[in-house]
Amino acid sequence: AQSVTQPDIHITVSEGASLELRCNYSYGATPYLFWYVQSPGQGLQLLLKYFSGDTLVQGIKGFEAEFKRSQSSFNLRKPSVHWSDAAEYFCAVALYNNNDMRFGAGTRLTVKP
């Protein structure tokens, strides 16, 4: 069955530290891959996406993600976290039909001063 797994429910990092949020998927083919961020009480904002090509993708707000086909992973990274990055982060995947998008359960990021 198709699934998206974000193994970490909650992560706490200190401001200025590096960040990596994990995402694994189980699909029959390589899907389109996305990372979204949601601030409390808000809708979702797209950080970055991977469709094909270079497996290291740059996004907004200094985020990047790397697609690793062999590991079925699409981990999100940021070299230096800012307090404003505290939010919930969702990995999402979709096949060629972008309507049928499946989301992971989310990772809540807390940033310590």
The site for other proteins (CB under 8 A) is made up of 4, 6, 9, 32, 34, 42-46, 49, 51, 90, 92, 94, 98-106
CB 89 to other proteins: min, Å: 11
Q: Which is nearer to other proteins, 1 or 113 (CB)?
A: 1
Least Cβ distance, residue 28 to other proteins (angstroms)? 16
Nearer to other proteins, 27 or 51 (CB): 51
Looking at the Cβ atoms of 27 and 103, the one nearer to other proteins is: 103
**Cβ 39 to other proteins, closest distance in Å?**
12
Nearest distance, CB of residue 4 and other proteins, angstroms: 8
Kindly give, in sequence order, each residue whose CB lies less than 8 Å from that of residue 29, ignoring residues fewer than 6 positions away.
95
Judging by DSSP bridges, how do beta strands 56-58 and 101-103 pair with one another?
A: unpaired
